[in-house]
Amino acid sequence: MTSKALILTALLALPLPARAYEPSWPDLSQALYDGRTLNDGAGYISIDVPYRTGDDARTQVAAQISAPDGLLLGSVTLILDENPMPVSAVFNLDQPQPRFFFDVTMRINGPTPMHVVAETTDGQLFVAEAFVKTSGQGACSAPPGSDLEEALATLGDMTIGIDQLLGSGTAGEKLSALSLRQRRLDLDISHPSNSGMQMDQITLLFVPMRYVENVEVDLDGTGYVDITGSISLSENPRVSLGIPGQTQSVDVTMTDTDGTVTHATKRLTGY
């Protein structure tokens, strides 16, 4: 065999290089924002997500957003780039706020970048990015975690909890929350959040898609935030929000994709 043939044989024996990873964000951002300027939001948006999920089907994703000086937040969007439904939760603020906090339990279908996009009331967009690794469970197609008949029996039940202070970490975080006079609203929703990609382990048929489509949160009789959900919401999702400390009543209306509507109310003692 000639030397050229030996070289060619050696080259053919080498493993093929892995295909370069092609991020979805450029196409997603173009489709969602149609060429609008996405300003660097690193100074205004702090994302809290685990380095690797402990449970792909129920991962807490949180963010603290502050508007630039003199501006107010009108909406906040959570995007899980590689999830089947990337636009995973949208928070439209009926009452624009200088700051906003959310913490939501999500399905993370696989390793993915995630973006939080905040829009101020003057139309400016600010974006921050994080990345989360997963344990390979394929959360959006994982079998339901509870019996479907039992899940339907309690579907739409909601429990509202209120913490005195937003932030349960360091003393400094608590003092900061106190100075901002914020509380933390925890909303637990009983709902199977069927993704349409799950298979019933008995019938081997796909479970029809059905998830929390909208959650309206009113404070003291006035609209505060409307949340648009997706199949990325975990089964029995928990949605936590920062709310003004002086809030004395919370009213929540949940609507799912099958048209089921439920309500929950809680009265509080203000500062």
Tell me how far apart the alpha carbons of residues 266 and 87 are, in angstroms, rounded to a whole number. Answer: 30
Domain ranges of the chain: 25-267
pLDDT at 204: 67
pLDDT at 20: 46
73 closest CA partner among 45, 115, 114, 54: 45
Residues in the chain, pLDDT under 50: 1-20, 168, 172, 175, 179, 271
The answer to whether 210 touches 194, Cβ cutoff 8 Å, is: yes
The C-alpha torsion from 118 through 131 and 63 to 126, rounded to 10°, is -20
Q: Which two tokens stand for residue 36?
A: 């609008």
Beta strands in 82-181 (DSSP E): 87-97, 99-106, 112-120, 125-132, 158-163
Residue-wise pLDDT for 39-83, tens only, equals 999 999 999 999 999 899 999 999 999 999 999 999 999 999 999
pLDDT at 107: 93
Write down the H helix ranges in 128-252: 148-153, 171-180
Residues paired with residue 130 on neighbouring β-strands, in sequence order:
114
If DSSP states are collapsed to H, E and C, what string results for 218-256?
EECCEEEEEEECCCCECCCCEEEEEEECCCCEEEEEEEE
pTM of the model: 0.84
228 closest CA partner among 109, 125, 88: 88
* Domain 25-267 part of CATH 2.60.40.2470: yes
